Structure 1
């Protein structure tokens, strides 16, 4: 669980003038953002700090060992392979030498500073403001402490930087002597040489511990600890609202509409309040599975969201409108819809519209203001939004209705969502208060944050869309489920509202396309052609 931290051979440490080589057990490292550190560009432009962490394994082969009991001297020869050179260094100028120590260890506590995780070459203090608990910090700021040890008197050997690296080391052995192999970003290999010679039964194992498969172990992805991700997976065994919707959407991807319909039926039985997007999908599944009775029942739920009858002018409802039950349904629907609309909080709706207009006055593409002005605008608008939410509550679909454009197109995230987006991007001082209010709305099934475009999951995505093509990063494995979700976005004739996966759209630059073309050719694999419409994302 130890890995080597030595400022002598690493830029990833603040200059504390400490030249000792520490073997640090930092398995409980949380990640910079998870310690509460926040970052913001001083010019108020958007900035996202993403931290990922993988530790590579070393493989030690001892091929020769000579020990002289008269003078307690030992000589050890062998090879070390593994490390991150094996994974990253082929055809690249990357070096990963291994440091080998033979001596007695001294236990200590090692301090983890901000500079251990993001030194000045990554975080430019002139342009990036770093804060912890509201106070500006630098690379010497304390984050955590971890158990560690170092060698005072030792023999030392530094291997070649690549491949199967030969080593030879010798020195005097006591009962406390260790042989340690370490490198930055690698799990150390540590042998208790003293016990092997003076107390051979001390560390004797009944069975050899099986080494984890693979060349490395991923500990963190985009600020999220793998351990926490695994906990979330375990929690997903618990049935929640999104258990049903995720299953239903997976069935829709496979065109198994009857099974998807049953999942939505179970959702309705277990949750009295549903989001309009799920009702929208459930109606379509019922129609496509030829269950018109259920389709009418689900359609009636849309009236409770204040969605007017012209919504049913979409082509998919042709069969429903020709059904003998349509006349009675449409009359009843119109009555329910008007009753729902009469309960709307019109003041909340108007004030939200005013806030969006205030926001867009400065954010509009034609007259976008400077980053400093945008930050000030967002801070001011966020304050007003907080006051509005405290006074009127969250603008749920029940309070202001579901958002429909051009009569038939349901929008799962209405215009006011941009206010939340800008607050999350700009990180104003009052963001914590807004998040607290939103958390309450999530619990009440008013704010659909899990499927919100504001969740920032696209950062660090393995998938990019460029010139209508879907590309996968060569550094990522193939994820067929994610590919199906993304491709479904471009082949969705029934207008389902779905989780379309995690991807980044690369804008086409007609003035200098070669830069992006070469970048994708070198770093990405072409997966499929999605569309010939390169400008789909602007429509």
Structure 2
């Protein structure tokens, strides 16, 4: 009897233990936003390729016809796969790729689970950017965009990223590693997943759109919102294994802005990496610091940076001397102002340069008479050392170029291309024979007596070569790179490097706009651009990168609508809508 009793006791204890264990794993029947936030997975990992089998810019010929969530984080950008573009019509053509991804904001208002049939009912709201970045190639008509919602178990696969019809191949020759291409030329393959069996819903992408979805769940069920950056929640873990995704800290996103991944064909991650690795202090470290101080109206500190620059480098570009003089005057250091002004004489700049308003106090100073005599003597001596044959040959090349490019006599695109190729050949030969025409060799460009131009007039030859991309462009760039490294050519700040390619900013009707597909955290860039329109002392600065939209459209309303839909108004810059027509 005693043995039987003990056996019964053991069985009873086991039964109680088993029931207690099951009781611990029983699921809740209601879940809230916090539960979903804890079980959010694959943050900023998967983008959404829809049922038309298209990614950001191309269709697919893969056998899988279902929409896919694709981990394309290793996407390099089209140019970086070795794809090259060349115009067949001799018109200016530059392929610029900007890729941004945008976030969704998912708000859960109600979620109930029925343990009897394993059905979950979810309701809430989703907000999304209707102008999410994707790959920006050309302006397209505004189309309605949707968010697709899936509730089911994922099936892993892979997806091929094809080149697609990125340009009109009738007018542009497209090759990859010097081989012919078509729209199904493969660029890369990415891991992905899709849903075979699932509950489905679809809503318009806009501000706080309501959604409902209901379906059976298992321990592997996911809730996925398909868009730019997709939002994915581990519903199976939330219901059946709540400790699986337990986090000490939940990161909540308060907005659904876009983040740039590729800017002007360059990966943003690479740009940041390069910036972090740049520890070497160069000529431009000092000028950048000085210009940032000028933006903040801290002229004394800017002057100190220019003083450091002069200590490190015996020969400076005229634009930096031009700025240093102004900083000295505005910080009331007239001794330094006279000293810096004298350096301009070595650039062959004539004395009337000092007729500008900012020099009024300098001209009234008792030192002015002696200074002006000495300055004039130095300037004449500098001009006597100029390489006049080099200067004359440059003038001849400029005349040859302008004979075809002149607005009144402009020829066909083919003629312009042939002209640029011919002139570039001659320019290359000239640079090889005489070296780069630095400010010390041919002087600095000043117009209207007092206005210093930061780039030489022959710069248009380089600009046309960049635009037309003749076959000899590589040879020219190699020479320019060498001259830039020797600080004979101000390559880093050259006008050709700031002609708007890939810029997020547009100036239209005197207003500054920022693309909705770009980051809005760009206060420094905005300050640079706005400084251009509030620069009474005539500083020569890095005014940032922007595109000017001419106010000459035949359909101004369409342009206005385009800006309203795709850009954010930053500020009013000027009432002079056609400021760009003035030199």
Q: Which residue of 2 aligns with 1:139?
A: 183
Q: Is 1:463–1:502's contact at 8 Å kept on the other side of the alignment?
A: no
Q: Which residue of 1 aligns with 2:511?
A: 470
1:118-157 mapped onto 2 (5 Å cutoff): 120=165, 123-150=167-194, 153-157=196-200
1:98 partnered with 2:148 = yes
**Alignment partner of 1:47 out of 89, 93, 102:** 93
TM-superposed deviation, 1:16: 0.9
Q: Which residue of 1 aligns with 2:34?
A: none
State the alpha-carbon separation in 2 of the partners of residues 375 and 338 from structure 1.
40
**Alignment partner of 1:494 out of 537, 550, 573:** 537
2:342 aligned counterpart, secondary structure: helix
State the alpha-carbon separation in 2 of the partners of residues 7 and 384 from structure 1.
54
State the alpha-carbon separation in 1 of the partners of residues 272 and 66 from structure 2.
36
TM-superposed deviation, 1:276: 0.5
Q: Which residue of 2 aligns with 1:270?
A: 312
Aligned length: 518
1:82 aligned counterpart, secondary structure: strand
Distance 1:161 1:299, change over 3 A: closer
1:252-401 mapped onto 2 (5 Å cutoff): 252-401=294-443
State the alpha-carbon separation in 1 of the partners of residues 482 and 443 from structure 2.
19
Distance 1:447 1:133, change over 3 A: farther
TM-superposed deviation, 1:474: 7.6
State the alpha-carbon separation in 1 of the partners of residues 69 and 561 from structure 2.
41
TM-superposed deviation, 1:189: 0.9
State the alpha-carbon separation in 1 of the partners of residues 314 and 342 from structure 2.
14
State the alpha-carbon separation in 2 of the partners of residues 210 and 510 from structure 1.
46
State the alpha-carbon separation in 1 of the partners of residues 522 and 334 from structure 2.
36
TM-superposed deviation, 1:262: 1.8
Distance 1:331 1:529, change over 3 A: closer
TM-superposed deviation, 1:132: 2.7
Q: Which residue of 1 aligns with 2:75?
A: 29
Q: Which range moves more in the overlay, 78-87 or 34-43?
A: 78-87
Q: Is 1:101–1:156's contact at 8 Å kept on the other side of the alignment?
A: yes
Q: Is 2:551–2:577's contact at 8 Å kept on the other side of the alignment?
A: no
State the alpha-carbon separation in 2 of the partners of residues 412 and 85 from structure 1.
41
State the alpha-carbon separation in 2 of the partners of residues 323 and 346 from structure 1.
36
1:322-373 deviation line (CA, Å, top 9, x unaligned): 4343344344434433443344333332222222222111111011111122
Q: Is 2:62–2:160's contact at 8 Å kept on the other side of the alignment?
A: no
Q: Is 2:82–2:177's contact at 8 Å kept on the other side of the alignment?
A: yes
Distance 1:161 1:470, change over 3 A: closer
Distance 1:300 1:15, change over 3 A: same
Q: Which residue of 2 aligns with 1:111?
A: 160
1:194-214 deviation line (CA, Å, top 9, x unaligned): 8975x776x444524424543
Q: Is 2:53–2:61's contact at 8 Å kept on the other side of the alignment?
A: no
State the alpha-carbon separation in 1 of the partners of residues 406 and 85 from structure 2.
25
Distance 1:424 1:297, change over 3 A: same
Q: Which residue of 2 aligns with 1:16?
A: 61
TM-superposed deviation, 1:87: 6.9
CA RMSD of aligned residues (A): 3.5
5+ unaligned residues in a row in structure 1: which ranges?
none
State the alpha-carbon separation in 2 of the partners of residues 93 and 134 from structure 1.
36
1:52 aligned counterpart, secondary structure: strand
1:39 aligned counterpart, secondary structure: strand
Q: Is 1:7–1:13's contact at 8 Å kept on the other side of the alignment?
A: no
| Greater C-alpha Rg | 2
Q: Which residue of 1 aligns with 2:17?
A: none
Q: Which range moves more in the overlay, 367-376 or 339-348?
A: 339-348
**Alignment partner of 2:126 out of 82, 85, 101:** 82
State the alpha-carbon separation in 2 of the partners of residues 442 and 139 from structure 1.
39
State the alpha-carbon separation in 2 of the partners of residues 375 and 266 from structure 1.
44
State the alpha-carbon separation in 1 of the partners of residues 283 and 562 from structure 2.
41
Q: Which residue of 2 aligns with 1:451?
A: 493
Q: Is 2:348–2:383's contact at 8 Å kept on the other side of the alignment?
A: yes
**Alignment partner of 1:214 out of 213, 235, 255:** 255
Distance 1:529 1:316, change over 3 A: closer
Q: Which range moves more in the overlay, 510-519 or 224-233?
A: 510-519
Q: Is 2:498–2:544's contact at 8 Å kept on the other side of the alignment?
A: no
2:146 aligned counterpart, secondary structure: coil
TM-superposed deviation, 1:57: 3.2
Distance 1:221 1:74, change over 3 A: farther
Distance 1:154 1:452, change over 3 A: same
